[in-house]
Chains A and B, each alone.
Chain A
Amino acid sequence: MNAIEVRGLTKRFGQFTAVDHIDFDVKQGEIFGFLGANGAGKSTTIRMLCGLLSSTEGTARVGGFDINTDPHSVKQSIGYMSQKFSLYEDLTVEENIDFFGRVYGITESALKERKAWVLDIANLHGREKSITGTLSGGWKQRLALGCAVLHRPRIVFLDEPTSGVDPVMRRKFWELINELSADGVTVLVTTHFLEEAEYCNDIILINAGKIIASGSPKELKRDHIKHPILEVHCSDVVRAMERIEEEPWAVETSIFGTTIHVNVENEQQGRDAITSLLHRNGITVNGIERITPSLEDVFIYLLEHGGGKG
C-alpha cells in the first residue's frame, strides 16, 4: 500500500484554481520531493493532505485514511512542520516539547525518552530552559522537526523546512530527514532548492497548480534532457546569450551565474558553432565543457516548454 495516494485533488479559492486535479502516489518510507515555484500550489496541497484545508474536488488517502471523511485519523498518523516556525516562542524548549507530546497523548515515561531524542537531534542538551524565541534559525528548525515527529508518525509533511537556514544547517537537516526515512518514515517535503531535490527518491514538479513532471531525479534527467549541455565560460555573458539564443542549433539557453548553459543537438558541432559565433561578435571564449545535467537544467527546460507529460 502506498503511504499517500492523491486522486484528482483540486482546490479553488473563488475564481483562482490553486491546485488543479493532481494525482500522485508516495511509496512507504520514501523521501518524496514536491517542487515548484512560490505560489505553484505546494503548500495548498500539503495543507489539504494534513486536513488543514478542505478540498474543492477530488480526494486523497493519507496513511490509509481519507482526508475528506476521516481527517481525525489522518491527524493522528501524521507529523507536520509548516513553512513558518510555529512553536511557542515565549515558552522554553522543554515546555514546547512537553506540550506537543501531551497533546499527541504520549505517556509521561515515553515522553521523557522522546524529549531526550529531540534534544539530541536538535543539539539542545543543556538548553532545555532556554526561551525558544532566543534560539537561532537552524536550532529552531530542528526543534520544530523534533516536535512534529514526537509521536512517531508514519508520515511526515515538511513544508519548506529549510527556507531561511544556512547551508551547513540545511545539510544537517537533510541528514535528519534521511535518518527518518531509514526508520521507515515516509517524508513528503516541499522545497524550492533544486539541489535538495537530488536527495529525494521521487519528485513531482508542480506549476500553476498542475503537475508537469514526475519521477526520480535520474529519470527526470534522462527523460527530459535528450541533448548534451555545454557550459560556456566567456566575457560578455548577457550579450553572448542573446546571440546564441537566435541560432537554430541552440535548443535551450540559460544563464547560470557567470556561465551559459546551452543545449545543443550535437556536442562537437555545438562547440564549433558557439566558438565561431562568439568570436564573430568579439566575445572572448574562455572555455566550453560538457556537463551532466542538474535538476535545475531539467526544470528550466520543463518550465520553458510548458511541461512534458503530466
Chain B
Amino acid sequence: MNMLRLQALVRKEFQQFIKDKRLLPIIFVLPILQLTFLGFAASLDVKNIVFVLADMDKSSESREFIRSFTNSGYFTMGYTTEDYNTVRTYLDNSQATMAVIIPPQFGAKVLRRESVDVQVIFDGSEGNSTAIASGYAMQIINRYSQEVLTEIVGDVRRLGGVTTETRAWYNPTLVSRVFMVPGVLVLILLITTTNLTAMAIVKEKEIGTLEQLLVTPLRPIELIVGKLIPFTIIGLIIVTVALLVMVFGFGIPVRGSLLLLYAFNGAFLMTSLGLGLFVSTISKTQQQAMMVGMFFVMMPMMYISGFVFPVENMPVALQWVSHAIPMKYYLVAIRSIILKGAGLSELWFEGVMLVVMGIAVLAASVLRFREKID
C-alpha cells in the first residue's frame, strides 16, 4: 500500500463530502430525527387502554374494584353499559379493547367471603398489546383479591405459600424507551454507513471515474481503504451525535466505559462498511446497490439481530442464522455497555465475533473488487 496515493484518495473523498449538500443532513439531522421518532414511537409500553364496563352490581365494592383499574394509569373507562350484550358492540367497533363484566351480587358475595367470578374480555386482534394489557389486568385483580384476603386474615404471609417480589434491574421502571434507544442508535449507524458505502464505488462506476482510477497505479486495496477511512470517520461522527441525543435528550446515561463503546463502534463499522463496499463491488448501478443493501444487508440485520424480535423467540434455524449477523453482537454489546455498564470481561466474545466478521467481509470485498472492469 502506497501512503501517498492513499492520502490523495482520502483527501479527495473529504473534498467531495464538503461539497455534497446532502451529507451534512445525513450526519446531523438524520440521527436526531430518527432517535426522536423511533425513541418515542418504537415503544412497547401499553397505556390508556380503553375499556367498557358492564357493572351489574353497582355496589360500593364493585365501584372500588373498578377504581383499582382506573387508578392504575393503564386503563381508562370509556363506556359503561347495563346490558351484557352491548359489550360486544363496543369491542366490534374497536371503541374499547377490553371489557370488564361484574356480575350481580359481586359486592354481597365479597362481603360474604364467597368466591366470585369477574369476566374480562380482550380484543385479541392486536396480540402484543393484548398480552401486555391482560398482564396488567391480572396484576390488578390479584392485588385486589389479596387486599380482600388481608382484610380477612390480616397478614397473608401467615398462611404460608410462595410470593414473588419482582425487580427489574438496569431499567427498574421497565420503560421500553430505555431499551429501544440504544438499539435505535445501532440502527442509525447501520443504515447510514451501509447506504453511504454501498453507493461509494458503484457511483464512481456509474459516472465513469472508476475507469479513470483503474488506469492509474492505484491498487484495489488502496481504493478500498481509501473509501473506508472517510466513511469510518463519518460513522463515528454519527454515533457521537446519536449518543449526545441519547444522553442529553433522553436522559439515558452511558454506564460503562466510553472507550469500550467506541471500540465496539469501530468493530461494528468494519462489518457494516465492509458489507456496504461488498454490495458496491457487485452492483452495476446505484439503484441496484440500494436494493441489494436494503434486502440483503439491512433487513436481515434489523429482523434477525434481536433489534425488533428477541432472538430467543425465533425458530432454531433462524437462531443459527442470527449467529452470522454482526448487528446481533453489536446490539448486545451496546445495550450492555450503556444500560448495565458491562466491561470487556463480559463482552469479549461479542468483540471477537465482530472483529473476525469485519476482517472476513473486508477481505471479501478487496478480493471481489478486481482491477478489471469486466
Contacts and interface: CB of A to CB of B under 8 A. Distances in A.
Contact of B4 (A84, A88, A105): A105
B17 to A, nearest CB: 10
Given A53-B374, A54-B372, A99-B11, 8 more contacts: A52-B211, A52-B214, A82-B211, A88-B12, A98-B8, A102-B8, A104-B216, A131-B19
A54 B214 CA distance: 13
A104 B216 CA distance: 7
B216 A86 contact: no
A71 interface: yes
A99 B8 contact: yes
Given A90-B16, A90-B19, A104 B211 contact: no
Given A88-B12, A90-B20, A75 B212 contact: no
Nearest to A99: B12
Interface in A174-233: none
A103 interface: yes
Nearest to A50: B215
B211 to A, nearest CB: 5
8 contacts: A47-B373, A82-B208, A98-B8, A99-B12, A100-B212, A102-B8, A105-B5, A105-B217
Interface string B1-43: 0101101110110011001100000000000000000000000
A57 interface: no
Interface of A: 13, 47, 50-54, 71-72, 75-76, 78, 80, 82, 84-91, 95, 98-100, 102-105, 131
Contacts of A104: 216-217
B209 interface: yes
Contacts of B11: 99, 102
Contacts of B4: 102, 105
Interface string B197-218: 0000000000111011111111
Number of chain B interface residues as a range? 20 to 34
A48 to B, nearest CB: 10
Contact of B12 (A51, A80, A91): A91
B92 interface: no
A84 B208 contact: yes
Given A52-B372, A87-B209, A75 B217 contact: yes
A53 B214 CA distance: 10
B216 A53 contact: no
Contacts of A90: 16, 19-20
B147 interface: no
A-B complex: 3 closest residue pairs judged by Cβ atoms: A102-B8, A86-B208, A84-B208
B371 interface: yes
A98 B15 CA distance: 12
B215 A80 contact: yes
A95 B12 CA distance: 8
Nearest to A72: B217
Nearest to B219: A72
Contacts of A88: 12, 16, 209
Given A53-B374, A71-B371, A78-B215, A86 B209 contact: yes
Nearest to B216: A103
B217 A76 contact: yes
Contacts of A85: 208
A13 to B, nearest CB: 8
Contacts of B373: 47, 52-53
A52 B16 CA distance: 25
A54 B218 CA distance: 17
Contacts of A51: 214-215, 371-372
Given A53-B373, A54-B374, A89-B207, A82 B5 contact: no
Nearest to B215: A80
Contacts of A78: 215
